Amino acid sequence: MKFVDEATIRVQAGSGGNGCLSFRREKYIDKGGPDGGDGGSGGDVYLVANEGMNTLADFRMARKFRAESGDAGAGRNMTGKSGSDLEIVVPIGTIVHDVDTGELIGDLTKSSERLKVAEAGRGGYGNTRFKSSTNRAPRKTTNGTPGESRHLSLELKLLADVGLLGPPNAGKSTLIRAMSAAKPKVADYPFTTLHPNLGVVSVGSLQSFVMADIPGLIEGAAEGAGLGIQFLKHLQRTRLLLHLVDIAPVDESEPADAVAAIQRELAKFSAELAAKPRWLVINKIDLLAEHDLANARSALLKNLDWQGPAFEVSAATGRGTTELAQAVMRELERMKRKAAESNA
């Protein structure tokens, strides 16, 4: 299985055009002076962040990118046409390294942000440039310089406010479908989601936050089991985790065990991630009668010794999801105010 939040590409900036060797040839002028123009410069290669894109999937097919080269100069002091710059669209949150040197080239965090990744070659000089009082008919020109060529690794860490956490089949994708316009695949088998999906959750008409649906995590994920640790990385940049638990699993396993297993993986992966604010979201409440639900809920909270916020939802019917979205929005606003105050 292959995942698409990492990709490597080759970029080549345009070369400069060569300078031109030429002399004026006109009627009645016997020995015209030099009139060879300069070569045009090549095009640079840029990466540009765009919110319309949220995976690096496209780079599995297209992996080589080349900007236009400049044209050579021409007689009559004509400078060659410059090559156009090349813009490669990448998702917001893309981190770029040079594969050969390991150097961090940059991190695209805002919409429309541009990052130059390969420098164009300069145009060469035409012979006109070398005219002087002692050399009226220079035959010297210079060639354009080659454009820079680089091997880049792209890595996408999602920039979501909220990350959904849970084992396979907990209903993460169903929940993001219920709360946003994102429509990832939902199915009753594990590992339906193979790469992260982002959804924008609107709360009222003016407020919204970005939620990330990631593949399910299983015991041993921190060491690479299942779809592995790369998806834990995505959660590092979120501000709040929603930990989904299926309250009525078909195999009749204990919901508390499922939550505890994931808590252990978080702690193994990173202390920082384990300490991130995390709310419990009890899903599939439509499967239980009112009374059974109340019992299952209190058993779960007691088993886990859960002190934090806990919500009940049915991702399938949408019940409880509006309240959840509103509470998340309030919490994100509160965090933002707190961060602003401590910066002031």
Ligand X SMILES: Nc1nc2c(ncn2[C@@H]2O[C@H](COP(=O)(O)OP(=O)(O)OP(=O)(O)O)[C@@H](O)[C@H]2O)c(=O)[nH]1
Query: Which residue ranges make up the site for Mg ion (CB under 5 A)?
Result: 172-173, 192-193
Footprint on residues 178-237 left by ligand X (CB under 6 A): 186-188, 190-193, 215-216
The distance of closest approach from Cβ of residue 59 to ligand X in the complex, given in angstroms and rounded to an integer, is 23
Task: Identify what 315 binds: Mg ion, ligand X, none; CB under 5 to 8 Å per kind.
Answer: ligand X
The one-letter amino acid code at 154 reads: L
Give the span between the Cα atoms of 244 and 225, in whole angstroms.
19
The distance of closest approach from Cβ of residue 91 to ligand X in the complex, given in angstroms and rounded to an integer, is 20
Residue closer to ligand X (CB basis): 187 or 294: 187
Residue closer to ligand X (CB basis): 188 or 305: 188
CA-nearest of 205, 219, 96 to 154 is 96
What length is written for the chain? 344
Residue closer to ligand X (CB basis): 48 or 261: 261
Q: Are 201 and 175 in contact (CB under 8 A)?
A: no
Of 19, 83, 123, 166, the one binding ligand X by CB under 6 A: 166
Give the span between the Cα atoms of 286 and 289, in whole angstroms.
8
Residue closer to Mg ion (CB basis): 172 or 233: 172
Give the span between the Cα atoms of 76 and 320, in whole angstroms.
75
Residue closer to Mg ion (CB basis): 94 or 193: 193
**172: which residues sit within 8 A by CB, 6+ positions away?**
164, 165, 166, 193, 213, 214, 216, 244
CA-nearest of 324, 238, 332 to 281 is 324
Give the span between the Cα atoms of 198 and 200, in whole angstroms.
7
Q: Are 293 and 314 in contact (CB under 8 A)?
A: no
Paired tokens of 72: 């050579």
HSE, side-chain direction, 13 A CA sphere, residue 108: 26
Residue closer to Mg ion (CB basis): 55 or 173: 173
Residue closer to Mg ion (CB basis): 41 or 173: 173
Interaction mask 240-279, ligand X, x per CB under 6 A: ----------------------------------------
Task: Identify what 166 binds: Mg ion, ligand X, none; CB under 5 to 8 Å per kind.
Answer: ligand X
Footprint on residues 275-304 left by ligand X (CB under 6 A): 283-284, 286-287
Q: Are 41 and 16 in contact (CB under 8 A)?
A: yes
Interaction mask 314-333, ligand X, x per CB under 6 A: xxx-----------------
**6: which residues sit within 8 A by CB, 6+ positions away?**
56, 153, 154, 155, 156, 230
Task: Identify what 87 binds: Mg ion, ligand X, none; CB under 5 to 8 Å per kind.
Answer: none
Of 156, 170, 218, 222, the one binding ligand X by CB under 6 A: 170
Task: Identify what 314 binds: ligand X, Mg ion, none; CB under 5 to 8 Å per kind.
Answer: ligand X
Of 17, 42, 171, 196, the one binding ligand X by CB under 6 A: 171
Residue closer to ligand X (CB basis): 99 or 187: 187
The distance of closest approach from Cβ of residue 173 to Mg ion in the complex, given in angstroms and rounded to an integer, is 3
Neighbours of 220 (CB within 10 A): 15
Contact footprint for ligand X (CB under 6 A): 166, 168-174, 186-188, 190-193, 215-216, 283-284, 286-287, 314-316
